[in-house]
Homo-oligomer: A and B are copies of this chain.
Amino acid sequence: MTDTAPRPTLEAVAARAGVSRATVSRVVNGGDGVRDILAERVRKAVDELGYVPNQAARSLVTRRHDAIAVVVAEPETRVFADPFFALQLRGISKELTAHDNQLVLLLTEGRDDHARVGRYLAGGHVDGALVFSLHLDDPLPELIQRAGVPTVFGGRPGWSGDRRDVVYVDSDNRGGARDAVRHLAGLGRTRIAHITGALDQTSAADRLDGYRDVMVDADPLLIAEADFTPAGGERAMRELLGRCPDVDAVFAANDLMASGALRVLRESGRRVPGDVAVIGFDDMRPVAEQTDPQLTTVRQDIEEMGRLMARLLLRGLDRGAPREGVGATPSSVVLPTTLVRRGSA
């Protein structure tokens, strides 16, 4: 736990290179309009002294921070139960790093945290925000929008219908669900059930819509509402079995619930996929590949979602790749999903 040594300033570098501060500054920031001879001398001085620009001083005048906040609202522990979040974060990190931006992580839990986050963002400490909010009634998105910070959302926010200036990145939950159900239908299944996720989350609602797209006038008894947890999946499967013993396929809104359903089916003596075919969603490998049989599921490219969020935000900030729709307010993106066939359907 050593103390930091006094660091060299621009001034020091200037003195050593025999030029003015302004010139050093120019070289450090791209170096246009400086003769090569001088630029070289400055660069030499810079690394002889081990000069690193003081970001605080720089921000003070530029009003830029080259930092992006990532806000994760997780009233429940759910976000942390799966690698989802970590993967998105990784995608985000890669993209930010590529553009020399820092990632400031804001994890929230409960109401007072909302206020804190709002204050932080409004405080202008970061140039933009990437926000993950799961629930329809979450006040956070509104709060952030009001803070006036450029923002991109992860997953479609519940109220995006009213406000068209909301930018988000989502995967094609509805389309993916359709693919899953169609696949089951293609297998000749006719009594296809659906175990929903927590319906106060748009992803769950969209997946349900996708199911309905294919199962027009589906028997309502074939739809069991659950909550994305394995236990919820078990409970829902039991219900389903109780009221529709003739069910021959199940599309669960995520892999965790599918794994629960699988367990219940086995208990009840059904064979998978022989008697009942099962499809999940997410392609959470540690779960999907550990079940017996392995889970057929809908994959989304989670890391890419993260990367895209960051790219969209930076682009909106007039950073990011130049000459590529610079400055144009970016619009939302919905990423495609793919069906991964394994043993369960």
> A residues within 8 Å of B by Cβ?
1-5, 7, 50, 52-57, 59-60, 65, 67, 70, 79-83, 85-87, 89-90, 93-94, 97, 102-107, 109, 113, 116, 119-120, 122-125, 148-151, 165, 167, 230, 256, 259, 263, 266, 284-287, 289-292, 316, 329
Contact = CB atoms under 8 A, between A and B. Distances in A.
A123 B320 CA distance: 23
Given A289-B230, A329-B1, A107 B83 contact: no
Contacts of A151: 1
Contacts of A70: 105
B119 A52 contact: yes
Contact of A60 (B60, B109, B124): B60
Q: At the interface, is chain A mostly helix, strand, loop or mixed?
A: mixed
Contact of A105 (B105, B122, B123, B285): B105
A105 B107 contact: no
A290 B289 contact: no
A283 B329 CA distance: 45
A292 B80 CA distance: 23
Contacts of A94: 107, 109
Contacts of A289: 230
A274 to B, nearest CB: 18
B124 A52 contact: yes
A2 B60 contact: no
Contacts of A5: 148
A125 B123 CA distance: 18
Contact of A230 (B103, B150, B290): B290
A50 B119 CA distance: 10
Q: Residue among A1, A52, A94 with the most chain B CB within 10 A?
A: A1
Contact of A82 (B83, B113, B263): B83
A85 B82 contact: no
8 contacts: A52-B119, A55-B123, A56-B59, A82-B286, A85-B86, A97-B116, A103-B104, A256-B286
A116 B4 CA distance: 18
Given A7-B124, A82-B286, 13 more contacts: A1-B316, A5-B148, A52-B123, A55-B123, A56-B65, A80-B87, A90-B107, A94-B107, A97-B116, A230-B286, A259-B290, A284-B286, A292-B292
B83 A80 contact: yes
Contacts of A2: 148, 150
Contacts of A80: 83, 86-87, 90
A89 B105 contact: yes
B60 A56 contact: yes
Nearest to A1: B150
Contacts of A83: 80-83, 86
A285 B103 CA distance: 29
B105 A167 contact: no
B287 A286 contact: yes
A158 B167 CA distance: 45
Contacts of A65: 56
